[in-house]
Amino acid sequence: MSACVPTRHDRTSRSSRPPRASGIKRPHSPPPPPRRGRFRIAGADLSSSITVFLLAVPMSLGLAVAMDAPLEAGLISAAIGGIVAGLLGGTPLQVSGPSAGLTVVTAELIQIYGWRTTCAITIGAGLLQILLGSLRAARSALAVSPAIVHGTLAGIGVAIALAQLQIVLGGSPQSSAVANALALPDQLGRVSPAAPLIGVLTIAVLILWPRIPGRIGRVVRRIPAALAAVVTATAVAAITAPGIARVDLPSWRSHALPEMPHGPALALATAVLTVMLVASLESLLAAVAVDKLSADRAGGQAAARSKADLTSSSASDPASVSVSVSVSVSASAQGPGPSSSPPPDPPDPPVRRSDLDRELRAQGIANTLSGLVGGLAVSGGAVRSSANVRAGATGRASTVLHGVWVVLAAGLLVTALEQIPLAALAALVMMVGIQMVSFAHIRNVHKHREFLVYGATITGVLLFGVLKGVVIGIAVAVAVALHRLARTRITVTEQGGQHLVVVQGQLTFLAVPRLSRALARLPQDGDAVVELDGFFMDHAAYETIQDWSIAQTAHGGRVVFTGRSGGRIAEPASAAHSCCRPWTPWRNHHCHDRPGQTPETHHARLGTGPASDSGSGSVEDRSPEHHTPHNAPGAHSTPGPADSPTAAPRRTGGNRLFSGLSSFQRNTAPLVREELARLAREGQRPSQLFITCADSRLVTSMITASGPGDLFTVRNIGNLVPPPDAESSDDSVGAAIEYAVDVLKVDSITVCGHSGCGAMQALLGSKPGPDTPPTSLWRWLRHGLPSLERMASRHHAWARISGRLPADAVEQLCLTNVVQQLDHLRAHGPVARRLAEGTLQLHGMYFHVGEAQAYLLAEGASAGLALDEVFNRVDPGDAHASSDSRTLADSHALAGSHVLADSRSPGDADTPGPAAPGDPAGSGELERTGV
């Protein structure tokens, strides 16, 4: 086992960082504070505030009933949560009010200490929230395992549902969830029909209201389902059950204010901590959810605007869609100019990302004020906040106005509120509790093997209370983590005189004694294969394996280390980052190309060659994080001068070719020589023909996890397939297709496009016309004109990518071009014949370079049988087999307009050099944008 010299990461100096005054935001810096100005109220905020108000009033009253608190306390907390937390909070679209998660906790506190002491506990929890927010501890609160958080909320939801079921059945809730469950049989035996029927009616309206179909449904769905359910139940109860228990709002003159708490200090401190913990977690989780909802809404609006722009362009003049789209793209990049057309209607202003520390401080201030004036504990609510976002709110004005409406309702609508049946409010809160048990969270927790932690937390909350349930969940999570860390299976088998040692799990110091015993039983002069099936190895385990390997080799034995898929590795996984291994990690493919370092010196520094100078320093790391090649994604948009201090050094083609070949002969050739010798004897038998672009950023063997002999590759500008009857057909592509289909008998053909394709940008930017110079490049790009016409045509569906519209016109054309080239491919005689026989498959593929994400065209669209052209995302879990260990990174090859590659040669073509022949711009435009 080779020893590798640790590399030193090249950190960016402080002097090269942008100054704070430059306006450039650092990647992980908190968002800047909002600009101070007058409080603006948009029309969308006014309408959404009314929607949230109509939802908040019945929910606030219902939660107060569930907690056995004064009913006016629910209205007080809703008003303070809306006005105070809305004005001061760090999440503009989040709506705060009485906390559903604290229902069980507050009911228990009122029963033990009384209402006035409970208000004092709320004040203490608010002050603690202010302190934690000032200490910037909000992010730390989210570090708790999601299984514990969702388990806590689910346990609270079950307790809420059991308590409110008692009220729906006409009884009174007990002191705990267990007591409520045990009292259900007795309550069912003496139930009266009025309250249950009103409760069932409320639940039915809650469920069916969002599902009303047709035009009527679109109109009535503007009214919140909670308001519709309560109004319906109130109207029915007024006619059929006039004697049912209803809301009783006491006079504001008798409203109780807080008092100095009375009771054991430790119990009161525990109560304050519990209220603070639950309210904070609920608020922070709701803030994160609001960020996601607002981002999804902004993405949908952007996609709709893009769709509308492209539709208007194609409707006005389909032939000029390329010019109009190109102008719009360039205008958006350069900003408005003197001659630019009037801008379209401005979109909704973007909502800032949540400042969680500010939000936590605002929640603390709101809780402190709510406790001082006799209100319930306040927290951010996911139900109210999601309703606010979906109603179209654009800022915090909606939240604040909703609080103002609650204040007005508390003073002017007392008579109307007192007509609401308690059973209707109990049914409403019971549904809120049921919704806190999310099946999506259960599936996600189960998928990550955390269901034991989730179940233990729910059980602890139901049996022992919220705080003790959280402690139980944390204890179980720690025990599960330690069990997984210590669970390492080591098996030794003998196969044909060779010993196979399989290590499954993580190798830590806890597993070292068993590992040492297993390795000591092996013959010292025997051959052994050690399969390491895990992703972590600490220093103790590494030293143990290394010492045993050295001793085994010294006694004449042979040791081979493999990974999970059987691929041979040179050292344990923990040391993989320390040296250059170009056979497996593509991230080190430039390790032979460091300034001022020849292949010989690099070879010596690794300690695998002649004596090296130990004082020469360590090897510099050239990982993607610290190395940006000249053709990196996004470099085309902002080209800089070659002598820019931030630009990566670019070596000449001869030096790069020589150093690459030298590195291959030294590091890679010994590993692949046996495999390539077999391929030389047997000949190539690839299973796929892969037609893709000549862009140097598209490394086919890397993104397909293929090796020598797997792919028969054709690369050209724009991954074009000229039709066989084209006026200026390209025989090289047709010959490659014929050879692959008739001679090599490939099973499938894939046409692969990619993001930021320079050929597609050239087609959009300046359509070839009669006056276009007849260069080789433009004669070739004429084969892409059918793709441009297809995108502008109304007879073809627009291509979609993973459930969304393309980001811009260039991406739309890249996707459409893949579908169009598949049509061209079917027109070739050999392909049509094999398709008719059912022995050949066609696939469309799109690779997003900046995201390193592959998308596959739906099977029906690839076969030409479906109208919808949808590119589906390929996830890691979609693979049916692990990557072949033979996969190697593509070596650098000489550039060309198109390259026909033997499948046994893994090289890919780079894009043209300093100036592309026939560049219409005359300044290397195609190389700047990337082809």
Q: Worst-scoring range by mean pLDDT, 265-274, 462-471, 817-826?
A: 462-471
- Select the more confidently predicted residue: 745 or 497: 745
Q: What is the pTM of this model?
A: 0.49
Residue 689 has pLDDT above 50, yes or no: yes
Q: Worst-scoring range by mean pLDDT, 176-180, 513-517, 642-646, 719-723?
A: 642-646
Across residues 137-153, what is the average pLDDT? 78
Most confident residue range from 145-159, 188-202, 292-306, 788-802: 188-202
pLDDT of residue 367: 94
State the Cα–Cα distance between residues 720 and 814, nearest whole angstrom: 11
Query: What are the tens digits of pLDDT across the range 253-302?
Result: 667 788 888 888 999 999 999 999 888 988 888 888 788 777 777 766 66
pLDDT classification of 551: cutoffs 50, 70, 90: confident
pLDDT classification of 306: cutoffs 50, 70, 90: low
Residue 642 has pLDDT above 70, yes or no: no
Q: Worst-scoring range by mean pLDDT, 404-413, 539-548, 612-621?
A: 612-621
**Is the backbone of residue 705 left (phi > 0), alpha (psi -120 to 50) or beta?**
left
pLDDT of residue 303: 60
- Select the more confidently predicted residue: 928 or 727: 727
pLDDT of residue 621: 36
pLDDT of residue 53: 87
Residue 336 has pLDDT above 80, yes or no: no
Q: Cα dist. 568→495, 573, 585 in Å?
A: 18, 11, 13
Residue 608 has pLDDT above 50, yes or no: no
The contacts of residue 588 (CB under 8 Å, 6+ apart) are 580, 581, 582, 622, 623
Q: Please state, as a whole number, how many other Cβ atoms lie within 10 Å of the Cβ of residue 399.
A: 30
Indicate the angle between helix axes 785-792 and 809-826, nearest 10 degrees.
120
Across residues 465-483, what is the average pLDDT? 86
State the Cα–Cα distance between residues 526 and 555, nearest whole angstrom: 9
Q: Worst-scoring range by mean pLDDT, 66-80, 730-744, 762-776, 837-851?
A: 762-776
Amino acid at 648: A
- Select the more confidently predicted residue: 84 or 667: 84
- Residue 405: name the closest of 51, 812, 920 by CA: 51
State the Cα–Cα distance between residues 587 and 758, nearest whole angstrom: 25
pLDDT of residue 252: 67
The contacts of residue 688 (CB under 8 Å, 6+ apart) are 710, 711, 712, 746, 747, 748, 749, 750
pLDDT of residue 339: 38
Residue 678 has pLDDT above 80, yes or no: yes
The contacts of residue 317 (CB under 8 Å, 6+ apart) are 324
pLDDT classification of 750: cutoffs 50, 70, 90: very high
Residue 887 has pLDDT above 60, yes or no: no
Residue 27 has pLDDT above 50, yes or no: no
Residue 21 has pLDDT above 60, yes or no: no
Across residues 556-575, what is the average pLDDT? 61
Q: Are 737 and 842 in contact (CB under 8 A)?
A: no
Q: Worst-scoring range by mean pLDDT, 115-119, 160-164, 248-252, 314-318?
A: 314-318
Q: Please state, as a whole number, how many other Cβ atoms lie within 10 Å of the Cβ of residue 235.
A: 11
Query: What are the tens digits of pLDDT across the range 204-232?
Result: 999 998 888 888 888 888 888 888 898 99
- Select the more confidently predicted residue: 224 or 864: 224
Across residues 325-348, what is the average pLDDT? 40
Helices (H), 727-784: 731-738, 758-765, 776-781
pLDDT of residue 634: 36
pLDDT classification of 136: cutoffs 50, 70, 90: confident
Residue 346 has pLDDT above 80, yes or no: no
Helices (H), 683-775: 700-703, 731-738, 758-765
Query: In sequence order, what DSSP letters do the residues of 874-886 get, joined into one string?
Result: --GGG-SSPPPTT
Q: Are 692 and 700 in contact (CB under 8 A)?
A: yes
Across residues 519-531, what is the average pLDDT? 87
The per-residue pLDDT of the chain, averaged, comes to 74
pLDDT of residue 453: 92
pLDDT of residue 321: 37
Residue 333 has pLDDT above 70, yes or no: no
State the Cα–Cα distance between residues 880 and 862, nearest whole angstrom: 20
pLDDT of residue 663: 79
pLDDT of residue 415: 83
Centroid of chain to Cα 807: 17
Q: Worst-scoring range by mean pLDDT, 112-121, 302-311, 437-446, 729-738?
A: 302-311
pLDDT of residue 300: 64
Across residues 547-551, what is the average pLDDT? 88
Q: Worst-scoring range by mean pLDDT, 387-396, 417-426, 645-654?
A: 645-654
pLDDT of residue 672: 82
Dihedral sign computed on CA atoms, order 214, 216, 222, 228: negative
694 CB burial (10 A radius; 0-12, 13-18, 19+): buried
pLDDT classification of 345: cutoffs 50, 70, 90: very low
Across residues 93-97, what is the average pLDDT? 90
Residue given tokens 């202010």 in the structure block: 130
Q: Are 318 and 791 in contact (CB under 8 A)?
A: no
